[in-house]
Homo-oligomer: A and B are copies of this chain.
Amino acid sequence: MRPYAFGVDIGGTAIKLGLFRTTGQLMEKGSIPTRTENGGENVLPDVMAALNRAMDRRGITWDHIEGVGMGVPGPVDGNGTVYQCINLGWGVFNIPRAVRGLEPRIDRFKVTNDVNAATLGELWQGGAKGRRSAFMITLGTGIGGGLVVNERIVNGTGGGAGEIGHFRVVTDEPEACKCGGHGCLEQYCSATGLLRCARRALADPDHLPTALVDDEELTAKKVCDAAKTDDPLAVRLVDELGDRLGWALTAVAGTCDPEVFVIGGGLSNAGRFLLERIETGYRRYAFHAYRDTPFSLAQLGNDAGIYGCVRMLL
Task: Give A contacts to B, CB under 8 Å.
Answer: 75, 83, 133, 135, 145, 147, 149-150, 152, 154-168, 179-181, 184, 247-248, 250-259, 285, 287-290, 292-293
Contacts and interface: CB of A to CB of B under 8 A. Distances in A.
Given A156-B256, A257-B158, A289-B158, A251 B147 contact: no
Nearest to A255: B255
Contacts of A181: 285, 287
Please state the number of chain copies in the assembly. 2
B75 A160 contact: no
Nearest to A179: B287
A297 to B, nearest CB: 19
A262 to B, nearest CB: 14
Given A83-B289, A163-B289, A290-B158, A168 B255 contact: no
A113 to B, nearest CB: 10
Contacts of A135: 255
A166 B147 CA distance: 21
Contacts of A293: 157
A7 B15 CA distance: 51
Given A168-B247, A285-B168, A157 B255 contact: no
A305 B149 CA distance: 23
Contact of A257 (B150, B157, B165): B157
